[in-house]
């Protein structure tokens, strides 16, 4: 729908110009630099080459990429396993306590993520809170330090990214029609089957959105591995930072790495649009069924009456077939 309000058009124009200047142009600049040769004095030499992308096929970079990918996927999975139940409980909580639960998610944003990462040192270090808890539970007999390990990096990434998983899922669960869950329960579906065939598909856009918001930043955060991992293992964020800040910078290689990550982001956005398309198709299908049932005075069966999760496309055909059989 087109808007005739000139003020809204001005706001849209300002946002568009802002995104072009500070998002599109820098990314195009990086893409262009990725095809130039490095120059220690002028940063880049204007000479077209594909060698920067070829250097990304070396065993050392593949190791960095796979390690970063593994940690990013693990932190995304942890955030999903923790964030989905929390978001579901939050969306179904009474209205009087829901703002307080949302506040618990927003409060960490009031403090710099760098400071919060340093605060984790008090939990993970030798004689830290976690070590003392393990001693109290008699799991360990002496102080244990989790600092400068892959576990510490994974804990830091998951803690930093968790709110970005909860909020999109919460928005998706909040819009979930509770009548579908009631219909599934009336048809004899258990909690697990209702979740798998009703709740999970309808909240898939929120899950995909949360995974995008968690995965890519976790892939490129450089201060968490530096602080909690001690810089023992180099990840993509540290690798890109080093290309731009080392004494003899290699901007083209850093730009090529950033371009590859941008392509990964685009693939994830396409996956998100695909889940939105599937959800909208299911919503349109249900709307057409309700319209058809209302016009024909036919009681509409909830989706999955013949087995939850099955697409009731032949539902109208069964009705028309039954009418035809009755006529015979």
Tokens of 200: 């999970």
pLDDT tens-digit series, residues 1-14:
455 678 888 999 99
Q: How many CB atoms lie under 10 A from the CB of residue 42?
A: 9
- pLDDT band of residue 170 (cuts 50, 70, 90) is very high
> Is residue 219 pLDDT above 70, yes or no?
yes
pLDDT tens-digit series, residues 62-79:
999 899 999 999 999 999
CA distances from 21 to 16, 27, 28, 31, 73 (A): 9, 10, 11, 15, 32
Q: Phi first, then psi: what are they for 41, rounded to 5°?
A: -100, -45
Residue range 169-188: mean pLDDT, rounded:
87
Give the count of domains, the chain: 1
Give domain status of residue 324, yes or no: no
> Is residue 89 pLDDT above 80, yes or no?
yes
For residues 193 and 201, give the distance between their C-alpha atoms in angstroms, rounded to a whole number.
12
pLDDT tens-digit series, residues 302-323:
444 334 444 334 444 444 444 4
Give domain status of residue 312, yes or no: no
pLDDT number for residue 326? 45
For residues 226 and 86, give the distance between their C-alpha atoms in angstroms, rounded to a whole number.
30
> Is residue 239 pLDDT above 60, yes or no?
yes
Give domain status of residue 130, yes or no: yes
> Is residue 20 pLDDT above 70, yes or no?
yes
Residue range 134-145: mean pLDDT, rounded:
86
pLDDT number for residue 297? 53
Residue 117 sits in a domain of what CATH number?
1.10.3720.10
Give domain status of residue 311, yes or no: no
pLDDT number for residue 223? 86
Q: DSSP labels for 199-265?
A: IHHHTHHHHHHHHHHHHHHHHH--HHHHHHSTT-S--HHHHHHHHHHSSS--HHHHHHHHHHHHHHH
> Is residue 286 pLDDT above 70, yes or no?
no
pLDDT number for residue 87? 93
- pLDDT band of residue 289 (cuts 50, 70, 90) is low
Decide which of 111 and 33 is more confident.
Answer: 33
Give domain status of residue 158, yes or no: yes
Give domain status of residue 28, yes or no: no
Give domain status of residue 320, yes or no: no
Do residues 30 and 259 lie in contact, with contact meaning Cβ atoms separated by under 8 Å?
A: yes
Mean pLDDT of the chain: 81
**What's this model's pTM, rounded to 2 decimal places?**
0.77
pLDDT number for residue 294? 55
Range of the domain at 232: 35-299
pLDDT number for residue 177? 83
């Amino acid at each position: 729908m087109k808007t005739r309000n000139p003020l809204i058009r001005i706001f849209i124009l300002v946002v568009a110009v802002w995104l072009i200047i500070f998002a599109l142009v820098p990314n195009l600049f990086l893409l262009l630099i990725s095809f130039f040769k490095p120059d220690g004095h002028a940063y880049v030499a204007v000479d077209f080459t594909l060698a920067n992308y070829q250097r990304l096929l070396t065993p050392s970079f593949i190791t960095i990429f796979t390690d970063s990918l593994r940690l990013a996927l693990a932190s995304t999975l942890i955030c999903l396993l923790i964030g989905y139940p929390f978001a579901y409980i939050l969306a179904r909580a009474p209205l009087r306590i829901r703002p307080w639960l949302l506040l618990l998610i927003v409060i960490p944003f009031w403090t710099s993520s760098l400071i919060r990462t340093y605060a984790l040192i008090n939990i993970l270090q030798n004689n830290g809170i976690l070590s003392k808890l393990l001693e109290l539970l008699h799991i360990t007999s002496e102080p244990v330090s989790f600092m400068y390990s892959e576990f510490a990096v994974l804990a830091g990434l998951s803690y930093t990214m968790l709110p970005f998983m909860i909020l999109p899922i919460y928005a998706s669960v909040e819009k979930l029609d509770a009548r579908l869950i009631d219909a599934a329960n009336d048809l004899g579906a258990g909690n697990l089957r209702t979740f798998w065939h009703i709740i999970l598909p309808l909240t898939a856009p929120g899950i995909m959105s949360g995974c995008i918001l968690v995965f890519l930043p976790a892939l490129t955060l450089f201060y968490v591995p530096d602080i909690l991992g001690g810089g023992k293992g180099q990840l993509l964020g540290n690798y890109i930072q080093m290309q731009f800040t080392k004494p003899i910078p290699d901007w083209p290689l850093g730009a090529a790495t950033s371009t590859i990550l941008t392509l990964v982001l685009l693939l994830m956005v396409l996956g998100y649009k695909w889940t939105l398309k599937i959800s909208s198709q299911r919503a349109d299908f249900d709307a057409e069924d309700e319209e058809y049932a209302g016009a024909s005075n036919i009681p509409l069966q909830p989706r999955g009456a013949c087995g939850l999760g099955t697409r009731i496309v032949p539902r109208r055909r069964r009705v028309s077939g039954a009418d035809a059989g009755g006529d015979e």
